[in-house]
Structure 1
Amino acid sequence: MVLKAELHCHIEGAASPALVEAQARKYGADVSSFIRDGAYCWRDFTTFLIAYDRAASLFRTAEDYALLAETHLTELARQGAIYSEFFTSPDHAERAGLSPQAYTEGLGEGIARAKRAAGIEARMIVTGVRHFGPEAVEKAARFAVTCGHPLVTGFGVAGDERVGHPRDFVRAFDIAREAGLGITIHAGEFGGADSVEAALDHLRPSRIGHGVRAIEQPDLLRRIAEEGIVLEVCPVSNIVLKVFPDFARHPFLQLRAAGCRLTLNSDDPPHFRTRLAREYEVAAEHFGLREAALLALTRTAVEAAFVDEETRAALLARIEAGS
């Protein structure tokens, strides 16, 4: 089994339908509008966001979130993952009636449980939601730098890329960067190459979430390669959400040939009927990558991870040892 690492997964979006249904029974909620026959159902990106938010609303206590993180990470470990970063959303916590601090502590407890049980290492990236506006994103950044949790090591922005412009979030990212947090931002998924370019110009991230639409602009591709920007690519998500029509027309191989540093990620796995192992399978089956090339993607993810150097060295040693 190829060892794996993931940098791009939304923790609420990682909740399986079965777990969400159990939470619904706990709280007496009806999930029939977005879960049918044991699977999430939605029609387009807008209805996906609605389903995502409704599922997230059923995690309401620190223990709920500990269970979610533990379940997600132990499942990843079964797939051969040795490292995971996931996006957290203080906004979702508050909308569910939970303080961001309790939310983060709960997730941290789940990470600790999974590490004890399965040996997987994990970190949290606090995200602002761009369609909630610049003030909400700045509030998320301030929380990220003041929460004091040792496993919060990054900051980013997620949400509807069609809303707002990277310049709107400059202050939020400055706050996070000045505090030493790693910087990533979703761009180049539903926004074109100009979205990626604007993110690089205004927010100076070391990683871009998705970034695949950069293929539309050769000069931008060269810039990404020359600056060593890591792209958090989510192939199955891109096809399910119709960013590209099929794997044959996905630009993964062109991005790789251009010298871009790439990683494989599952995004919101049960919503897209995927998991991290499947992303690696897709890369093998549709992109023709052999084991050495797949392991190189894992190595890139660890090299780009928002971790201390001691942890990074230990993870790289595990890759070299194959365990």
Structure 2
Amino acid sequence: MLQSTGDRTPHPRSPAPPASPAADSPRPQRDLRLLPKAHLHLHFTGSMRPGTLLELADKYGVHLPEALRTGEPPKLRATDERGWFRFQRLYDIARSCLREPEDIQRLVREAAEEDVRDGSRWLEIQVDPTSYAPRLGGLIPALEIILDAVDRASRDTGLDIRVLVAANRMKHPLEARTLARLAVRYRDQGIVGFGLSNDERRGMARDFDRAFAIAREGGLLAAPHGGELSGPSSVRDCLDDLGAARVGHGVRAAEDPRLLSRLAERQVTCEVCPASNVALGVYEKPSEVPLRTLYDAGVPLALGADDPLLFGSRLAAQYELVREHHGFSDEELAELARQSVRGSAAPREVREELLAAVNAWVALPAGGR
């Protein structure tokens, strides 16, 4: 049984820095790629390297739209249904290039290599295996191929990797129950959590309550998406209907002070992905992402890259964004890394090791590499 995430207690923070960005300060800064951290919000196909997508598309004769051929992140805006459809279409085309077990192995190995470069010590990669089942021989074979790839990549790179199985809220809730049972069945082979992804404006959270009950009763951490494209009410639904221990995104909780207090009191981690929030049009610019509001309210945060293939930046870049646009000091960035570790499903001994490594990073001389 996984250790409960509901018993975390708030941790003291360093005083807030001046409002001006850290980039305006002459103070030397530590290398954020060396900051040990946990990565809790990374989608499977979205973790692919652009070059890998081009090679696989050529291998299988898949015609990629211009938005995926340039190697640059496409211009996306998903705050209306048409924009979300375009985002989802690009994701589906990229996923169609993953057809053989060796493609899956390559994707996971390369995602792990990128995470290691960015200082990740623990990765929970999120996947809906039903989306890969048609090309990989069925649901169970697809999941086993994914889990085998994760195990191989973990051994090859030294990065601790686990899997969060996510249901699609655009599909029938009965399918989510099937996935939850399957996730519990394979819990001892690297699955640590159960999520709910896709457009949170579609499908009521409560429709998936039974699936999440199955997952929680089976020892899995509940981590549904909420509070990105929809407002604070979707975060409350994640808490009330799905028993969320973490919330994917959750940034819109900043609009409701009472909800902020609730998240802080219960120490529910929000997996904030600032680059994708801006890319999808939830906020117009990085400085508008309410990171400081969430942080100062005591809400635990875990920065994530979401879908680097489509948003163009990986994990360390999220920390750089927070440093540059929100003026977080190195001590505060270290606290964000600690919060990512505390919010993870890592065993206690792994958490303690990672927290000690974060403290060692803070002890480095400023500017030290």
State the TM-score, normalizing by the size of structure 1. Answer: 0.94
Out of 280-289 and 29-38, give the one that drifted further. Answer: 29-38
Deviation string 1:283-316 (CA, Å, 9 cap, x unpaired) is: 1101111222112111111111113323333333
Residue 55 (structure 2) aligns with: 22
2:316 pairs with 1:283: no
Residue 355 (structure 2) aligns with: 316
Distance in structure 1 (CA, Å) of the matches to 2:116 and 2:243:
32
**Alignment partner of 1:209 out of 239, 244, 248:** 248
| Mapping for residues 47-196 of structure 1, pairs under 5 Å | 47-196=86-235
Deviation string 1:31-64 (CA, Å, 9 cap, x unpaired) is: 1354132235364322111110111121122222
Deviation string 1:158-211 (CA, Å, 9 cap, x unpaired) is: 011111111100000001001000111100001111111111111111100000
Residue 292 (structure 2) aligns with: 253
Q: Per the alignment, do residues 321 and 101 of structure 1 end up closer, same or farther by CA in structure 2, a change over 3 Å counting? A: farther
8 A Cα contact 1:61 1:103, kept in partner = no
Give, as a single letter, the amino acid of the residue that structure 2 aligns with 1:120: L
Higher RCO by CA contacts (8 Å cutoff, separation 6 or greater)? 2
Q: Per the alignment, do residues 312 and 103 of structure 1 end up closer, same or farther by CA in structure 2, a change over 3 Å counting? A: farther
| Mapping for residues 262-281 of structure 1, pairs under 5 Å | 262-281=301-320
8 A Cα contact 1:199 1:205, kept in partner = yes
8 A Cα contact 1:42 1:48, kept in partner = no
8 A Cα contact 1:57 1:95, kept in partner = no
Aligned Cα RMSD in Å? 1.8
Distance in structure 1 (CA, Å) of the matches to 2:201 and 2:123:
27
Distance in structure 2 (CA, Å) of the matches to 1:206 and 1:228:
8
Out of 304-313 and 148-157, give the one that drifted further. Answer: 304-313
Residue 261 (structure 2) aligns with: 222
What percent of counterpart residues are identical? 37
Out of 186-195 and 143-152, give the one that drifted further. Answer: 143-152
Aligned length: 323
Out of 295-304 and 189-198, give the one that drifted further. Answer: 295-304
**Alignment partner of 1:237 out of 276, 287, 305:** 276
8 A Cα contact 1:155 1:182, kept in partner = yes
8 A Cα contact 1:105 1:149, kept in partner = no
> Which one has the largest radius of gyration?
2
Give, as a single letter, the amino acid of the residue that structure 1 aligns with 2:84: F
Out of 114-123 and 266-275, give the one that drifted further. Answer: 114-123
2:65 pairs with 1:32: yes
Distance in structure 2 (CA, Å) of the matches to 1:201 and 1:50:
31
Secondary structure of the equivalent of 2:350? helix
Deviation string 1:105-146 (CA, Å, 9 cap, x unpaired) is: 333333333333432111100000101131222221122112
8 A Cα contact 2:37 2:354, kept in partner = no
Unaligned runs of at least 5 residues, structure 2 = 1-33, 77-82, 365-369
Give, as a single letter, the amino acid of the residue that structure 1 aligns with 2:355: L
